[in-house]
Amino acid sequence: MEGKSITTIEGLSTDGTHPVQEAWKEIDVPQCGYCQAGQIMTASAFLEKNPNPSSDEIKNAMNGNICRCASYSRINEAVAVAAEKMN
């Protein structure tokens, strides 16, 4: 990763007000929270590339992130809400 920039969940925003984080709070996505940093970072990177995704595109983009609490419907809803906030 030499010469590359890496953003972690702590660097997404300094005060938790990134649109994805705001959408996560609005939809009340987490249950245990174990998967949430990865879910949020995947959603953020995806929305940077595709700011107006369809529901199928959201499902495909988030497909590789496993949530043992099965909060997939709220995750997908929050990504759609975040997309609206970013546009």
Of positions 9, 13, 22, 31, contacts ligand FES by CB under 6 A: 31
Q: Rounded to whole angstroms, how far apart are CA atoms 55 and 50? A: 12
Least Å from the CB of residue 73 to ligand FES: 12
Count Cβ neighbours within 10 Å for each residue of 25-34 and write b for 16 or more, e otherwise.
Answer: eebebbeeee
Query: Could you say whether residue 37 binds ligand FES (CB under 6 A)?
Result: no
Least Å from the CB of residue 2 to ligand FES: 32
User: What's the farthest any 2 CA atoms get from each other in the chain?
Assistant: 37
Residue 78: which of 31, 40, 35, 32 has the closest Cα?
40
Q: Which of residues 46-85 bind ligand FES (CB under 6 A)?
A: 67-69, 71
Least Å from the CB of residue 28 to ligand FES: 11
The pair of structure tokens assigned to 13 is: 């925003």
Of positions 19, 23, 30, 81, contacts ligand FES by CB under 6 A: 30
Binding residues for ligand FES, rule: CB under 6 A, are 30-36, 67-69, 71
